[in-house]
Amino acid sequence: MVLYTLGGTIASSDVDGTGGVRPSLDGAALLGLASGALGDLEVEVVGVRQVPSGELTIEDAVELSHRITHDLERGFDGAVVTQGTDTIEEFAFALDLLSTSASPIVVTGAMRHPGELSADGPANLAAAIRVASDPSMRGLGVLVVMNDEVHAARFVRKSDSASLAAFASWATGPIARILEGRTRRYVSPPPLARVLEPVRPGTVVPAVALATCALGVDARLVEHLVDLGYAGLVVEGFGGGHVPARLVEPLTTLAATMPVVLASRTGAGDVLASTYGYVGSERDLLGRGLISAGFLDGPKARVLLSLLLATGATTDQVVTAFARLHRSATELA
């Protein structure tokens, strides 16, 4: 088993005595806190970053994914990544899109730092290591383990700012739970289609903007994206994928020059395709060249679009990739 540490609350302490915690504990210290629950499992530790997870980038995920692939090929049976929970849903999904290994890759973190009562980091780490060393968890894609639940990276979202039960997967719920020291699996997500060409470490990931519709929103942001150097846009529309009529022409113009992906700001459920017929509806926007995010929320759609653009994908290839990924993930239905 190999453990990669990137910082976050799970590794945070008040090192400066200021009263505020920041990432500071290394992997050996994290393992020390969880050691009582690890038995004779052997874990090799790799310190990667020591940051709040808002500092992580898609480039970091590319680098780490290569390292994990290399280490799994060397013979490790699984990999665990610890990081801040603020961006787990995106970082784990990036690893999922990039990973080519069937061995379990499990991402975890903590909602309470080690100095708090009932800190959850040690239990989360022990559970993540248990899941990553369980052969029955192979081939399920990248997983996120929090609060004794196992979530598929493709669906999971941080849905609460502070609760220990902050992580939820709208489509399936947790696919497994840790119960009495064992992993019990209830759902097997179908394999995600491999929609990315290889992304080499060091590749520059083009900037993709994420814009959320809100009551009375105007078009200024959309109109300036090209000048600002963005290579793509994910727009989180209202409900099933709707925007005010005043955004339609600017979005249409933009979609002729760069991929514009339409997601829903609701955070759950697919983008609609064929229900509403008004200007700014999902039918209207998809007919004007916007690309459906399918089941992906805005942040996850942005990860996919960014990685596709990093591989030099054309807009047509982006359309195909989003559609293939959506079909592969919804096979259960």
Site string for ligand ASP, 227-266 (x = CB under 6 A): ----------------------------------------
CA angle 76, 82, 88 (to 5 degrees): 115
52 binds ligand ASP (CB under 6 A): yes
280 contact partners, CB below 8 Å, separation of at least 6: 242, 243, 244, 245, 247, 248
Stretch that binds ligand ASP, among 82-90, 217-225, 234-242, 249-257 (CB under 6 A): 82-90
Stretch that binds ligand ASP, among 69-77, 84-92, 98-106, 231-239 (CB under 6 A): 84-92
- Using CB under 6 A as the binding criterion, the count of chain residues that bind ligand ASP stands at 9
Token digits of residue 171: 């489509």
Query: How many whole angstroms separate alpha carbon 230 and alpha carbon 233?
Result: 8
Stretch that binds ligand ASP, among 26-34, 81-89, 248-256, 294-302 (CB under 6 A): 81-89
Of these, 65, 85, 103, 306, which contacts ligand ASP (CB under 6 A)?
85
Stretch that binds ligand ASP, among 13-21, 78-86, 230-238, 314-322 (CB under 6 A): 78-86
Angle separating helix axes 121-132 and 27-34, nearest 10 degrees: 90
Per-position b or e across 206-241, b if 16+ CB within 10 A of its CB: bebbbbebeeebebeebeebeeeeebbbbbbbbbbb
Please, are residues 167 and 157 in contact by the beta-carbon 8 Å criterion? yes
Angle separating helix axes 298-310 and 88-98, nearest 10 degrees: 40
Query: How many whole angstroms separate alpha carbon 174 and alpha carbon 146?
Result: 10
Site string for ligand ASP, 109-148 (x = CB under 6 A): x-x-------------------------------------
CB of 280 to ligand ASP, least distance (A): 35
CB of 142 to ligand ASP, least distance (A): 17
84 binds ligand ASP (CB under 6 A): yes
* 183 in catalytic set: no
8 binds ligand ASP (CB under 6 A): yes
Q: Three-state DSSP class for 97?
A: helix
Of these, 5, 9, 169, 281, which contacts ligand ASP (CB under 6 A)?
9
**Phi-psi map region of 40: left, alpha, beta (phi>0 left; psi -120 to 50 alpha):** alpha
Of these, 53, 99, 108, 124, which contacts ligand ASP (CB under 6 A)?
53
- Catalytic positions, written as ranges: 9
Q: Binding residues for ligand ASP, per CB under 6 A?
A: 8-9, 52-53, 84-86, 109, 111
